[in-house]
Amino acid sequence: MTTLESAPALVSNHTPMMKLRNIAIIAHVDHGKTTLVDRLLQQSGAFRDNQRVAERVMDSNDLERERGITILAKATSVVWKDIRVNIVDTPGHADFGGEVERILSMVDGAIVLVDAAEGPMPQTKFVVGKALKIGLKPIVCVNKVDKPDARPSEVVNEVFDLFAALDATDEQLDFPIIYGSAKQGWMSNSPDKPAVDMAALFDLVLKHVEAPKVGAGGFRMLGTLLEANPYLGRIVTGRVFSGSIRTNAPVKVLDVEGDLVETGRVSKILAFRGIERAPIDEAVAGDIIAIAGLEKFNVADTLCSPEEVEPLHAQPIDPPTLSMTFSVNDSPLAGTEGDKVTSRVIRDRLFKEAEGNVALRVDAAPNSDAYIVSGRGELQLAILIETMRREGFELGVSRPKVLFRKDPETGESLEPIEEVVIDVDEEHSGVVVQKMSERKGEMIEMRPSGGDRLRLVFLAPTRGLIGYLGELLTDTRGTAIMNRLFHNWGAHKGEIAGRRNGVLISNDAGEAVAYAMWNLEDRGPMMIEPGWKVYQGMIVGQHTRDNDLEVNVLKGKKLTNIRTHSKDEAVRLTPPMQMTLEKALAYIQDDELVEVTPKSIRLRKGLLDPNDRKRAERAKATEGAV
């Protein structure tokens, strides 16, 4: 194994070789990774002076821009002092951890970005643990030191404690530290001495991060990111581990076991140049490139020259913890709002998604034309559903179910346990502790986090956390912040009480009438508005009691020729409960579905006919009695 800078033999004579550094930027969600990349691109000259550039330029996906989070890992590159620095921006949410685990194999160093006020959070712990495990030496960057409640020195101590708890080596614990504000565009060696630019961070990366290691032998590259392009077909991004590759060269693809997947030729080699991808004739060992021209080259596969026989080692991916059933929309309103409604197109779309997203698993459901999609968390699956509805799909989606596994030694059932960190005002801490204990959460730490706030740390089963975020925000008047992270597989914690309220179900099909809804207001809050189309079995509101109630929201006012002031007063309705996709998925019970279309999100019973529902209830009661 040699470094790229001492390996001129791997590069052809007519290709000028550029020195390289490969780094990842890893941090908790909303600590400023994507903004930092913006500043690095701007100050390295990646943009023209008169070029208009969107804020958070790396968040190219519409959903990423709307939600202000990074969902997909993406690569870019900058040139500083004649050295090309390939930078990978990673997601902060543990739900997208599959992205993070793969890209860490592409880089030789990592910038761990930490908020100067919040300190290291659960997702920081998740990604840093993966980075330390494969031997990366991190640079700690304390961001947002301009915040009024910044506490940079305490945060550095917390980072050191975190590294020590994650079994970092002495070399990894001796990390360099840099302070600054990505938003203001500066980094400095001291929090009290603001600089004018990011030069200190660039210099630290060149000094601290090693040049890429180059393997012996011919061309080999590990696929880490996959995308589909309408012109070039399948494009796989990865790092060249050894050798070099030219356009139109013959190659073969090996899977993890070393079996041949396909042979072919490289039609296009794309290199990252700023935020653009430029075609190049030849790529050399150590560089991060994208390759087109192969139909079956997948994530975790090895692309290599025909004489190579050994595949590269791919990092193992943590298993999924949640599953949902995606089925054809069979409601009376099916096909009125979307154009992709059949089982076949839903199947093709889900399997295509599973190809590029290794943290997702898709299986056909037994005895039906539905599909069971398993993933890391509610957010990951909700993002997939939201993407599909924007593409014109109509779906019926079940409540998220937790995946259990058997203990190989004892045979007992194990369920996923998560570490939950909740930052909350002191006055609301009592209700949070009470609700978490009802959901089988066990408090392991409680400490002040500054400004009359407490940081509560729980270990709780994933089952108990489904749908809790909305309730937490209601209980704390929107002031609490909750972060979750998969902790381990633990013994089953017993039954957890679900939703305490029943629902109001429409008993007929038509358009909802304001007068009928006004008369039903004492039964509970509505989820629909006047004029909305409803059908038999559709959920139109929440019942004030714990049982379901069928109601008529189509009943108009009886017209008479008598006029009185009391009869003719205007109907004033209470605003309905707004059901977003995530809120709807968390709200429904096992016998209910969320109907998702490009224009609407409706809640409904799985069985629309009331007689079918009664029969199912009787059968369930009989089973329970037996």
Please state the residue numbers annotated as binding site for GTP: 30-35, 143-146
Instruction: For 37-80, give the DSSP string.
Output: HHHHHHHTT-S-TT----SSTT--SHHHHHHT---S-EEEEEEE
Structure tokens at 466: 């489904």
CA distance 443 to 466: 18
CA distance 214 to 209: 15
CA distance 189 to 210: 20
CA distance 310 to 376: 31
Instruction: For 166-233, give the DSSP string.
Output: TT--HHHHS--EEEEETTTTEEESSTTS--SSSHHHHHHHHHHSPPPEE-SSS-EEEEEEEEEETTTE
CA distance 262 to 304: 11
Residues 6 or more apart whose CB falls under 8 angstroms from that of 129 comprise 166
Structure tokens at 299: 């994530």
Amino acid identity at 572 = R
What values do phi and psi take at 625, rounded to 5? -65, -35
Cβ pair 489, 525 in contact under 8 A: no
The single residue listed with the structure tokens 């429904």 is 588
Q: Say whether 549 sits in a helix, a strand or coil.
A: strand
The single residue listed with the structure tokens 């003719």 is 568
Measured in whole angstroms, the distance separating CA 584 from the mean position of its chain's CA atoms is 18
CA distance 322 to 5: 45
Structure tokens at 329: 């929309």
CA distance 162 to 100: 19
Cβ of 234: how many Cβ atoms within 10 Å? 19
State which H helix or E strand residue 109 sits in. Answer: strand 109-115
CA distance 601 to 576: 14
Buried b (16+ CB within 10 A) or exposed e, 236-275: bbbbbbbbbbebeeebbbbeeeeeebeeeebebbbbbebb
Strand residues in 376-452 grouped as ranges (E)? 395-397, 401-402, 405-406, 413-425, 442-448
State which H helix or E strand residue 356 sits in. Answer: helix 343-356
Binding-site members are: 30-35, 143-146
Strand residues in 492-526 grouped as ranges (E)? 503-506, 510-511
